[in-house]
Amino acid sequence: MATGGERDPKRQKPSAPVDGGVAAKEVSGSGGPAMALNLTVANADALHCVVCSLPLKPPIFQCDEGYMVCSPCSDKLKGAGGKCHVCGVAMAGGYRRCHGMERLVDSLRAACPNAAYGCAATPPYHGREEHIRACPHPQCYCPGEACGFAGSTAALRDHIASAHGWPYRREPWSRSSFNMNLRDGFNFVVSAKDDLFLLNVTRHAFFRTVSVVCIRPRAAVAEQKILELQLSFEYGYYSSGSNALFKYDQKARFPVAYSDLSDGLTDFNDNHQLILLNKCVRGHEVDKDMEILIEIFYEEDL
Ligand SMILES: [Zn+2]
Ligand SMILES: [Zn+2]
Ligand SMILES: [Zn+2]
Ligand SMILES: [Zn+2]
């Protein structure tokens, strides 16, 4: 029996929350008692900045009417004539820190979705995405024959960029379209948001196919939103001695499948793919690269 200000030991061990549940847990330095609850956040907007919609994380600021904005958004006030850019109320002193909300968002913690794979982390809601991207516990696998490398998404990215000599290209910035020379076999693209894509070029008798899979750990796959890729190919020339134009354009845009490649390179031919006639790809007879224009679309950007 706990006495004299000691904490009840039962209260210090938060139970694992159910899927989607949020456990309130002691934050180091906060000094308060932990409390394990399975919570549902009925209105997730309450945890997001009203201006940019990103999860609120310290430092958090509020106007005189109590509207809360994140730190980068509060900085924009400096160009807004001293008015709250949510409700328009004039604020002589600008936005003020909201320490209560900071304590709250740091206290709302949920188990990492990789808990089943041994991750004991309980990141705060605002750090959840960041943790999942960096979490060392889930694994995805190198598709190289007899390679056997497995690791986090970040480790696999580094491995693929250096270990096998496969074509590797990084999206310059979000929603940019960029060219890449694809070879037969494996080609890799990393999006500006650090997702890793395998573009597999397979040669057939009269045509070749480009299929795509996004390599992500299994736990993260469950949380993924729709992701689309657009592949475009253009080829044209004027035949010598005349102005007759030959032109061949192909474009395919489709949702991308996810895999951690733990089952090896499963057959992605059932998925959508870009199909190109061999005779319309420059240098088809000498096994040259083909230049493809790539665009990546995330659901939140559409
Ligand atoms: Zn904001
Ligand atoms: Zn306001
Ligand atoms: Zn984790
Ligand atoms: Zn490998």
Kindly give the distance from the C-alpha atom of residue 136 to the centroid of ligand 3, in angstroms, as a whole number: 7
Round to whole Å and give the CA distance between 58 and 70.
8
Kindly give the distance from the C-alpha atom of residue 160 to the centroid of ligand 4, in angstroms, as a whole number: 6
Kindly give the distance from the C-alpha atom of residue 148 to the centroid of ligand 4, in angstroms, as a whole number: 6
Kindly give the distance from the C-alpha atom of residue 177 to the centroid of ligand 4, in angstroms, as a whole number: 27
Round to whole Å and give the CA distance between 301 and 218.
24
- The answer to whether residue 139 sits within a structural domain is no
- The answer to whether residue 269 sits within a structural domain is yes
- The answer to whether residue 69 sits within a structural domain is no
From first CA to last CA, the distance across the chain in angstroms is 57
Identify the nearest ligand to the CA of 129 by its number: 3
CB under 5 Å of ion ligand 4: residues = 142, 144, 147, 149, 163
- The answer to whether residue 196 sits within a structural domain is yes
**pLDDT tens-digit readout, 55-85:** 999 999 998 899 999 999 888 776 667 788 8
CATH of the domain at 262: 2.60.210
| The pLDDT of residue 231 | 94
| The pLDDT of residue 222 | 59
Identify the nearest ligand to the CA of 82 by its number: 2
- The answer to whether residue 93 sits within a structural domain is no
- The answer to whether residue 212 sits within a structural domain is yes
Reported ipTM exceeds the 0.90 cut: no
Kindly give the distance from the C-alpha atom of residue 120 to the centroid of ligand 3, in angstroms, as a whole number: 7
Identify the nearest ligand to the CA of 134 by its number: 3
Burial of 84: CB neighbours in 10 Å, binned 0-12, 13-18, 19+: buried
- The answer to whether residue 207 sits within a structural domain is yes
| The pLDDT of residue 269 | 56
Structural domain of 214: 166-301
Q: What is the dihedral of CA 270, 204, 281, 199, to 10 degrees?
A: 40
| The pLDDT of residue 169 | 95
Identify the nearest ligand to the CA of 63 by its number: 2
Kindly give the distance from the C-alpha atom of residue 96 to the centroid of ligand 2, in angstroms, as a whole number: 11
Kindly give the distance from the C-alpha atom of residue 56 to the centroid of ligand 1, in angstroms, as a whole number: 7
Residues of the chain falling short of pLDDT 70: 1-31, 78-80, 219-224, 266-270, 282-289
Q: What is the dihedral of CA 63, 65, 66, 70, to 10 degrees?
A: -30
Identify the nearest ligand to the CA of 88 by its number: 2
How many structural domains does the chain have?
1
Identify the nearest ligand to the CA of 148 by its number: 4
- The answer to whether residue 280 sits within a structural domain is yes
